């Protein structure tokens, strides 16, 4: 076991919050806050987590459940547990070859990893690193031709589903990024960078790894004709010109003949539209509280979405998953599986691949223990009878 693996073992790291603390110690503030922060006053980010406290568990005691079965299928793929790594952009800032490290950890654990369009590693390398099932998340940055080229590469590389994120017509107002000079640091020009550079210098280990990995990453999967991979500094403007509409889903559907997952559903109305596009799955997601501030926490809107779509589409949820019991609660309220973003991004920032593996291991152990304590033999047996949730959540 190497130094990084040791640094995230028990008793130092027992839960996701411990990984968060270790990520904070290793990463420059600007990178840690990029992971940890949310939009505006971050109330939605906090609400996502707090919503799980409003749901309480109803155990069946004195029931023997020697080996609970955590396996399930998502879009026909068998997985070791109902947890999927959500798309997290710019993982290469967190750790060298970050996206490959995360995909490898997911593959080893038998779960699906979703690669963001805004990744610093080539999608082909990420698929190879995983060795398991991978999904590709699509933004239309760089325009339609660029997206079509990305879709084609993803298909050839063996990605099995396309995740289309629909909640990012513009980047959310992330105040921490602005205060930390994220924009200035991306210019690569000494003058604007100087007032913010000390954050990087006080993390020499991270800085050495970052420079050893080639310095500021480019977006290897957004190849602009005649220019090459999109530069980091261009991403904010590119996002603003790349809103995905329901109309776009038509040509995306034609270009991709595998399953489509629509990510960023907040309401029953949009959930029905997702069904109408012929998507195979949707993700109830508010981007981890990073986009529109003031929307409802995802767990709160899950019952509304589930009741609107029934079993016409697989319903996934993300936002605020920090414990195995959170996964259980989402499944009891009708999610087929959950995605997690920050839980593994903290692990990546703390210790690279071993940190991601530790995050997955923590959630796996939590999940197993929670099922046993609930007296529930398998993931497939979880349903509403195992939880109490506020009645008003079911009024729509």
Ligand X SMILES: Cc1cc2nc3c(=O)[nH]c(=O)nc-3n(C[C@H](O)[C@H](O)[C@H](O)COP(=O)(O)O)c2cc1C
In the complex, which residues of this chain contact ligand X (CB under 6 A)? Answer: 34-35, 48, 86-89, 116, 118, 137, 165, 263, 285, 287-288, 290, 318-321, 340-343, 345
- The number of helix segments (H) and strand segments (E) in the chain equals 20, 14
CA 120 – CA 171 distance, rounded (Å): 19
Q: Which is nearer to ligand X, 86 or 295 (CB)?
A: 86
Q: Which of 97, 104, 266, 287 is catalytic?
A: 287
| CB 165 to ligand X: min, Å | 4
Instruction: Name the token pair of 74.
Output: 């998502």
Three-class secondary structure assignment of 119-185: CCCCHHHHHHHHCCCEEEEECCCCCHHHHHHHHHHHHHHCCCEEEEECCCCCCCCCHHHHHCCHHHH
Neighbour-count burial for 26-43, b at 16+ CB within 10 Å, e otherwise? bbbbbbbbbbbbbbeebb
Q: Residues, the chain, total? A: 396
Cα–Cα distance list, 395 to 159, 307, 316 (Å): 38, 10, 20
Residue the block writes with tokens 């990984």? 19
| Residue 385 token pair | 């009878």
- Return the SS3 of 284: strand
Q: Which is nearer to ligand X, 68 or 292 (CB)?
A: 292
Is 21 tagged catalytic?
no
- Is the CB of 119 or the CB of 376 nearer to ligand X? 119
Shortest separation between residue 291's beta carbon and ligand X, angstroms: 9
Cβ(363)–Cβ(277) below 8 Å: no
Taking the least distance from each CB to ligand X, the nearer of 30 and 68 is 30
Q: Which is nearer to ligand X, 88 or 162 (CB)?
A: 88
Least Å from the CB of residue 63 to ligand X: 31
Residue 338 CB, shortest distance to ligand X, in Å, is 8
Q: Are 175 and 274 in contact (CB under 8 A)?
A: no
In the complex, what is the shortest distance from the CB of residue 65 to ligand X, in angstroms, rounded to a whole number?
28
* Beta carbon of residue 58, minimum distance to ligand X (angstroms, whole number): 25
Residue nearest ligand X by beta-carbon distance: 341
Q: Which residues are catalytic?
A: 287
């Amino acid at each position: 076991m190497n130094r990084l693996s040791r640094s995230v073992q028990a008793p130092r790291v027992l839960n996701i919050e411990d990984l968060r603390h270790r990520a904070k110690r290793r990463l420059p503030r600007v990178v840690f806050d990029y992971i940890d922060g949310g939009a505006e006053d971050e109330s939605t980010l906090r609400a996502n987590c707090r919503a799980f406290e409003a749901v309480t568990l109803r155990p069946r005691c004195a029931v023997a459940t020697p080996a609970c079965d955590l396996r399930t299928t998502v879009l026909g793929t068998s997985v070791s547990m109902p947890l999927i790594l959500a798309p997290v952009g710019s993982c290469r800032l967190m750790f060298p070859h970050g996206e490959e490290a995360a995909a490898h950890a997911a593959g080893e654990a038998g779960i699906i990893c979703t690669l963001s369009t805004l990744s610093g590693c080539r999608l082909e390398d990420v698929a190879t690193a995983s060795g398991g099932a991978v999904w590709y998340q699509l933004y239309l940055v760089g325009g339609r031709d660029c997206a079509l080229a990305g879709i084609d590469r993803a298909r050839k590389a063996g990605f099995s589903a396309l995740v289309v994120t629909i909640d990012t017509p513009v980047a959310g107002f992330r105040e921490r990024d602005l205060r930390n000079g994220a924009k200035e640091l991306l210019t690569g020009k000494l003058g604007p960078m100087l007032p913010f550079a000390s954050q990087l210098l006080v993390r020499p280990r991270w800085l050495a790894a970052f420079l050893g990995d080639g310095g500021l990453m480019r977006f290897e999967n957004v190849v602009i004709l005649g220019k090459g991979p999109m530069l980091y500094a261009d991403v904010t403007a590119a996002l603003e010109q790349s809103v995905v509409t329901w109309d776009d889903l038509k040509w995306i559907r034609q270009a991709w003949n595998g399953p489509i997952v629509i990510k960023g559903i907040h309401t029953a109305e949009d959930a029905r539209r997702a069904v109408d596009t012929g998507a195979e799955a949707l993700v109830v997601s508010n981007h981890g509280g990073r986009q529109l501030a003031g929307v409802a926490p995802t767990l709160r809107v899950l019952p509304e979405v589930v009741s609107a779509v029934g079993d016409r589409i697989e319903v996934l949820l993300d936002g605020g998953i920090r414990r195995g019991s959170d996964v259980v609660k989402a499944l009891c309220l009708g999610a087929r599986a959950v995605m997690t973003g920050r839980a593994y991004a903290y692990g990546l920032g703390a210790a690279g691949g071993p940190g991601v593996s530790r995050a997955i291991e923590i959630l796996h152990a939590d999940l197993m223990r929670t099922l046993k304590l609930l007296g529930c033999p398998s993931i497939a047996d979880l349903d509403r009878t195992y939880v109490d949730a506020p009645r008003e959540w079911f009024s729509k």
